[in-house]
Amino acid sequence: MGLEPYIPGEQPKDKKYIKLNTNENPYPPSPKVLAAIKAAANDSLKLYPDPEGEELRSTIADYYGLKKEEVFVGNGSDEILAFAFMAFFDPGRPILFPDITYSFYPVYAKLCNLNYEQIALNPDFSLPVNQFFRENGGIIFPNPNAPTGRAVTLNEIEEILRYNGNSVVIIDEAYIDFGGTSSIRLISQYPNLLVVQTLSKSRSLAGLRVGYALGNENLIGALNTIKNSFNSYTLDRLALAGAKEAIKDEEYFQQIRKKIMATRKEVSDELLKLGFKVVPSQANFVFISHPIFPAQKIFQQLKERAVLVRYFKQSRIDNYLRVSIGSDEEMKIFLQRIKEIIQDKQGLPK
């Protein structure tokens, strides 16, 4: 087929690493989530789970002030995005997404035999909103963007929605809880808007694989048609139980996301002092570049020092590193290691 599949962040097992390359949450899930999963691990596992995820959908709907019929749940946001590419995008017209973005988008497009056009981000990696004012078969972009961390304002998103009333506009909000403004409040005004979120990042559940989409009932109905053509039981009983408690435990959610944002600010400030360019981030990672030291060399030397970050050998960003925000202790070690690398190359005393 000639497909180039998505390549996830490496997870080597040759030694113990500080993993800052896959945007995982450094903190554990809510204790209420773990208790719910343990309670659900009972005799009922012999039975199929609820294919509609009724209780979880109701919990999510209540949380956002929506109707249950405006909520779709699936096996991680990646599965939902794949369903959306199949359900909404027109193979006769090109879909639009940024040239620097989540690398699964071109994979899905090719898998679904969709034409696509990549919209070049501005030199500062901001989104050129007016470039989405053209004929298209659908639009998708992350907010905040991955791997840059830059966010788009609600006003800019409304501009895109208004101009593209005949196309489905998908906002991939995997990282929205770390400082961005969600588009969910626009759903009642724009029937062409689909918002996709995940519990993998801000709610520490990357290992549970739960995502959800929010939008007009017709859009949700189309997703259900695609899902039920493949596998009606996308979420198991343990995932449904844990996800429900993750949504309900607002206090823990706020505590963890604020802690990560505070660490991000501290790390960004220290990197700036070391001469790095730090792209303004509203995600749980920072995107950095040094004017003297090549990103690939820093990446390799950090790996030798047992610290993993993400390097993309890709046009326009091949001198940048994406660094996930870990715990305070992990980020302290990261900063020590990167300072060692720079000082060694500059011949400065440590």
**Going residue by residue through the chain (350 aa), what tens digit of pLDDT does each one get?**
565 655 555 666 556 899 999 999 999 999 999 999 999 999 999 999 999 999 999 999 999 999 999 999 999 999 999 999 999 998 899 999 999 999 999 999 999 999 999 999 999 999 999 999 999 999 999 999 999 999 999 999 999 999 999 999 999 999 999 999 999 999 999 999 999 999 999 999 999 999 999 999 999 999 999 999 999 999 999 999 999 999 999 999 999 999 999 999 999 999 999 999 999 999 999 999 999 999 999 999 999 999 999 999 999 999 999 999 999 999 999 999 999 999 876 644 44
Residue 178 belongs to domain with CATH number: 3.40.640.10
Do 145 and 116 fall within a single domain?
Answer: yes
Backbone angles phi, psi at 189, to 5 degrees: -95, -25
Determine, yes or no, domain membership for 67.
Answer: yes
CB atoms within 10 A of CB 289: 17
- Cβ-Cβ contacts under 8 Å for 55 (sequence gap 6 or more): 240, 244
* C-alpha count within 13 angstroms, C-beta hemisphere, residue 241: 18
- Which among 211, 226, 248 is the end of a domain? 248
In a domain, 11, yes or no: no
203 and 178 together in one domain:
yes
Shared domain check, 190 and 85: yes
Q: What does residue 265 show for φ and ψ, rounded to 5 degrees?
A: -65, -45
Residue 78 domain flag: yes
In DSSP notation, 305-329 reads TTEE-EE---TTTTT-EEEE---HH
Prediction pTM value:
0.94
User: Is 91 part of a structural domain of the chain?
Assistant: yes
Domain of 318 in residue numbering reads as 18-27+251-345
H or E segment to which residue 341 belongs: helix 328-346
Place of tokens 């969600």: 182
Looking at the chain, how many residues does it have? 350
The domain total for the chain is: 2
Cβ contact 20:260 at 8 Å: no
Residue 279 and residue 310 in one domain: yes
φ and ψ at residue 65, rounded to 5 degrees:
70, 35
- What amino acid is encoded at 71 in this protein? V
State the Cα angle at 111 between 8 and 78, rounded to 5°. Answer: 45
